Structure 1
């Protein structure tokens, strides 16, 4: 008996014990074949009248998925059976929607799902792909903006710089016709992207107080000149430039560190490859001597002025301040917001989806 075996285009073939063949490596051509095979299974559920439209929509998704996986070097994710199941679920959602943006969002969700060991991430993505075709456009804009405001803290060295960076960041995302009232939150609650606790005594912190808490260093009590000179000596002794104080731009005669928080300070020192014990010693001085996170409430009106002076921020702040109750994005909601946000901004050198999901628990 003659046995003939052929490897697929662009793949490698390994024969074990004469009868077991393993194909290693997935090419773009093979990925398209796999996606097409899953699509054929989905199409079996449709009538001959609906099948052509469903197939055309699924092809829009599949082309995007293969492109993303190829660009990110993740084509081998298609060797995993559970990933093919996730792809099929996304194809079902794609078949149910005519919105071009949904195909992009579904493809980005599958890009996040690729090669994921975390079952937490897998479950969140798998749930997210099943509701994309149900999300109202305005509700998606609201969810996206709500998550970005909560998740990100722009840097800079001063309050003015921070506000400018915030304006630039939020300006990257759709902010026209953001939804108002309760209806859009109820909609997201129904499809499990947010949780609303009825009658909760907790409400969202208003926009200006929220950023005042994100940027305590910019609004710091600061220290007088003699203390600043003492800290300069400690900075030289420790060999930590991060402890060098600058004139407080909001309090004449006072000095502050150039960071908005200890998180920013730690990140800068870690980028400088300082040892952790030296970093923590510097942070302790920043907190106990430099008043880095001791906010001067008398300076908060300055932040209010800067927000009011920006038409874009003023509009977003007004929208944020009217959000009712205390909506909390679910892990699926965070996953949708994260993937959708990356359609507009790539968030280079920032936390990945798995870390954002862990922070939410």
Structure 2
């Protein structure tokens, strides 16, 4: 005979299934756990600083618990590893008076709750929590913008819409002056957020950025000679949604995506999408930047002040900074902190 018993405190819930007890965490219990770890942090400091530290930790706790409730991840408090990370975050809050640091620490712990099962990511998050109170605001801003340049790709089919979207996203990330010179790079290197190799120059912006939205700069096909081999009944979208007049080359048409990966986002995937991509490569130069279109593309980009600022900033960076796992999770958490419109894509 198998005996089953269960007991629970007032602040937890239990579900009994096949003899296994699964314990859930309420907000009240989460706050009790946070108070336990906070007491350990407070025990390291002299009495004169206790009140200040308590106020700082409460600010952090309120942010993290509210976010975990919103994301549906309060159960992460049952994980001893998370509890350790939580205590480390409280240690960081204890020595910082910057509200932005509490937001950043909260974002890192939310990331820990969502992606912490991957050890490489978890290691980056743990190290990032340790250095939040040390990282300079401008350096963090530069790191975040750099990583966004490397990762953000527009999904809009029209070039102008794509550039407008990129401009809007970077406006959200640039909440102050961007760092200049090399000191910020040295600072991030010391904190393990980047690796510096002065032997590798940074690729010129006009060579790099067009390749982030390569479909906009495909050579295209003359409209007069354009033939479409796919019948309308086989397509989930109208041909007018798949092929556009080329904005950079009048009298030509191009495939209506910024790159191959965005084709699925307009409703095209599977074998038919692969055939369309192959046809666009053969007839429209899809997948390669037409060098003659770089100048008109850059002219459009520079007409948007934020993107023009990005180009000028990129140009003065003297060498290629390799962003580490620590830098990536810091940039991700900072973008989350700045995403007041809830529109910024996550940085990986």
Do they superpose with TM above 0.5?
yes
- The separation in 2 between residues aligned to 1:67 and 1:8, in whole angstroms, is 22
CA distance in structure 1 between the aligned counterparts of 2:258 and 2:113, rounded to whole angstroms: 35
C-alpha distance in 2 between matches for 1:154 and 1:252: 22
Q: Quick check: 117-126 or 333-342, which moved more?
A: 117-126
Shift of 1:235: 4.8
Most deviating of 80-89 and 338-347:
338-347
How many Å apart are 1:148 and its aligned residue?
1.2
How do 1:1-361 and structure 2 match up within 5 A? 7-12=8-13, 24-114=23-113, 116-198=116-198, 200=199, 202-225=200-223, 227-229=225-227, 232-236=228-232, 238-239=234-235, 241=237, 244-270=242-268, 274=269, 276-345=270-339, 356=348
Aligned residue number for residue 3 of structure 2: none
- CA deviation profile, 1:172-218 (whole Å, cap 9, x unmatched): 112531110000010010011111113x2x32223333221112221
**Shift in Å, 1:246:** 2.4
User: Can you list the C-alpha shifts for 1:64-108, whole angstroms capped at 9, x where unaligned?
Assistant: 111111111101000010100000111111111110000011011
Question: Residue 267 and residue 111 in structure 1: after superposition, are their counterparts in 2 closer, same or farther (change >3 A)?
Answer: same
1:345 is displaced (CA, Å) by 2.2
CA contact (8 A) 1:220 1:256 kept: yes
| SS of residue in 2 equivalent to 1:24 | strand
- Number of residue pairs matched by the alignment: 339
Provide structure 2 residue ranges, at least 5 long, that are not aligned to the other structure: 1-5
Higher mean C-alpha deviation, range 337-346 or range 189-198: 337-346
Kindly state the Cα deviation for residue 225 of structure 1 after the two structures are TM-superposed.
Answer: 3.0
Q: In terms of mean alpha carbon deviation, does 176-185 or 42-51 score higher?
A: 42-51
CA offset at residue 226 of structure 1?
5.1
Q: Which runs of 5+ in 1 are unaligned?
A: 16-20, 357-361
**Distance of 2:11 and 2:43 partners within structure 1:** 29
Change (3 A) 1:175 1:38: closer
Conserved in 2, the CA contact under 8 Å of 1:235 and 1:241? Answer: no
Q: Which runs of 4+ in 1 moved over 6 A?
A: 346-351
Say if 2:332 and 2:346, in contact at 8 Å, map to a contact too: no
Rate the CA distance shift 1:289–1:347 in 2: closer, same or farther, 3 A: farther
Would the aligned equivalents of 2:336 and 2:346 in 1 still touch at CA under 8 Å? Answer: no
What SS class does the counterpart of residue 218 from structure 1 fall into? helix
* TM-score, normalised by the number of residues in structure 2: 0.89
